[in-house]
Structure 1
Amino acid sequence: MAQQIPAPVPTAAQFANPRPVISTEYCAPYSIILAVVKKLMSVGNFDVIDTNSTVIFEVKRKLMTLHDERVLLDDAENPIITLREQRMTAHHRWNVYRGKSKEPNDLIFTVKRSEMIQWTAKLHVFLANNTEEKMSRETTFGNALIGKDNYKVTIRPNVDFAFIVALIVILEDMNHISERDEKAIGIGVAVANIGLTVAGVEPLVS
């Protein structure tokens, strides 16, 4: 079954070329809005839906594992990526792999906090071929006004929306997006060799 592409959102500004991190399959030529909906009675499990209430992704937390893990599934429940936290790291590091793999050859990117102690949700993202973890420049991921339970993400054209969802999952775990908070926070991401503002986050009004 082909991957469900989210419904378009009208926009004046578009990026000319796709900016894939996970796959060009997740780079729509138009701006899209995705809603991140937390599942009741669970921690770390989400549905990601578009403006037509179509489920685009599902996030499942793996239980009974040494490392904290999440799997991002497509609409047919095929695994797209596995997100795995590295324990005992000062900057709260996550590795993201293709499919269900955890092999070094299948590593796509690594995410870590820019500082050990920080008041804004600022991440550094290193692609797998950036072995020295050098940053090109830091860019804005967006500004967030986080609601109690659910929120929506507006993603620019040709930006990898599966990649953005992966970052949201990691931010959730880092407790920068908390179901107990309702406040404005800054979300920054520095991605080596990718310099652009990619998304904004705000509460989902049901």
Structure 2
Amino acid sequence: MMAQSPVSIVSPRFCAPYPVDVAIVRKVLSGDFVVNDVNGNLLFKVKGSLLSLHGRRVILDVAGRPIVTLRRKILSAHSRWQVFRGDSSEAKDLIFSAKRSSMIQYKTKLHVFLANNTSDDVCDYTVKGSWFEKSCVVYAGDSSTIVAQMHKKFSAQSILLGKDKFMVAVYPNIDYAFIVALIVILDEINSSKNQTSHMNNNTAS
């Protein structure tokens, strides 16, 4: 089942009436991302500090203008991230938030709430996946309706260049800037989780 009318979350300009395949390439050393279409044309850049205490990332358009700002909510047990319009961090500019469905997870599951959804009971989107397998699926609500799918693309070149490459298939009429933001949040949550477990292992040894 595919969305019939455009689902604009970040902006209508990021909704296409056809499937959009994007490549999200993460530079391992800097933690920054570039997002291209299948022809290699730049769509977005993602900037931010991998080791930032405040967990802040900004998605920029081709001209370098901020589209959305992603912020990790401090002292949030479920790794809640909030996404704001432009470079804002004010409540009036909140677009959506995402959090892990539970504190302890083997397979990642995020619940996504749009800004006008003040209830934490019913989510607007769900992200399910195994970060170990580098794959995930984005669903509408808590249903089985798929709106996007991601998998990691392995190549000798990407390993040599120190880059991670994720291929994301975004379904027709779904806001692909929104989907990219979800993938970045998923990567951040799992990166911080890996850092924490690594620190714990070092402490124990």
Please give the TM-score of this superposition, normalised by the length of structure 1. Answer: 0.73
What secondary structure does 1:30 align onto?
A: coil
Aligned residues: 166
Classify 1:144/1:165 alpha carbon distance in 2 versus 1 (closer, same or farther; 3 Å).
closer
> How many angstroms does 1:65 deviate by?
5.7
What secondary structure does 2:118 align onto?
A: coil
Partners of 1:156 and 1:23 in 2: CA distance: 16
1:145-180: CA deviation from partner (whole Å, max 9, x where unpaired): 43562120001000000000000000001117999x
Q: Out of 12, 16, 21, which is 1:33 matched to?
A: 21
Q: Residue 99 of structure 2 corresponds to which residue in structure 1?
A: 112
Partners of 1:171 and 1:147 in 2: CA distance: 17
- Pair 1:101-2:107 in alignment: no
Classify 1:147/1:169 alpha carbon distance in 2 versus 1 (closer, same or farther; 3 Å).
same
Please give the TM-score of this superposition, normalised by the length of structure 2. Answer: 0.73
Partners of 2:149 and 2:170 in 1: CA distance: 12
Alignment of 1:1-20 (within 5 A): 15-20=3-8
Alignment of 1:118-137 (within 5 A): 118-135=105-122, 137=141
What amino acid is aligned across from residue 47 of structure 2 in structure 1?
K
- Flag the structure with higher helix content: 2
Q: Residue 172 of structure 1 corresponds to which residue in structure 2?
A: 187
- Compare 105-114 and 120-129 and name the one that shifted more: 120-129
**Matched-pair contact (CA < 8 Å) for 1:36–1:151:** yes
**Matched-pair contact (CA < 8 Å) for 2:30–2:50:** no
Alignment of 1:39-58 (within 5 A): 39-43=27-31, 45-58=32-45
Structure 1 ranges of 4+ moved more than 4 A: 62-66, 140-145, 176-179
What secondary structure does 1:116 align onto?
A: coil
Classify 1:30/1:177 alpha carbon distance in 2 versus 1 (closer, same or farther; 3 Å).
farther
1:50-101: CA deviation from partner (whole Å, max 9, x where unpaired): 0110010100014886511000001111100000001221110000000000
> How many angstroms does 1:143 deviate by?
5.9
Q: Residue 152 of structure 1 corresponds to which residue in structure 2?
A: 167
- Pair 1:161-2:149 in alignment: no
Alignment of 1:65-104 (within 5 A): 66-104=53-91
- Compare 77-86 and 145-154 and name the one that shifted more: 145-154
Taking only aligned residues, the RMSD between alpha carbons, in angstroms, comes to 2.6
Classify 1:16/1:50 alpha carbon distance in 2 versus 1 (closer, same or farther; 3 Å).
same
